[in-house]
Amino acid sequence: MIRFAFTAAILLPAVLVQAQTAFEPHTVAYALCVTNETKKLAQVTPEIAKDLIIERAFAACKDEETGGKKILADKGMSASAIDERFAQVKKFIRLTAPDDIDRQRVNRVPR
Asked if residues 10 and 68 have their Cβ atoms less than 8 Å apart, the reply is no
**Residue 81: helix, strand or coil by DSSP?**
helix
For 14-32, what is each residue's pLDDT tens digit? Answer: 433 444 455 688 889 999 9
Q: What angle is formed at CA 6 by the lines to CA 5 and CA 11, rounded to 5 degrees?
A: 100
pLDDT given at position 26: 85
Asked if residues 41 and 48 have their Cβ atoms less than 8 Å apart, the reply is yes
Asked if residues 61 and 37 have their Cβ atoms less than 8 Å apart, the reply is yes
Overall pTM surpassing 0.85 (yes/no): no
What share of the chain has pLDDT > 70, as a percent?
77
Closest CA to 22 of 72, 67, 59, 97: 72
User: In this structure, which amino acid lies at residue 49?
Assistant: A
Q: Is the pLDDT of residue 12 over 60?
A: no
Q: Which residue has the higher pLDDT, 36 or 7?
A: 36
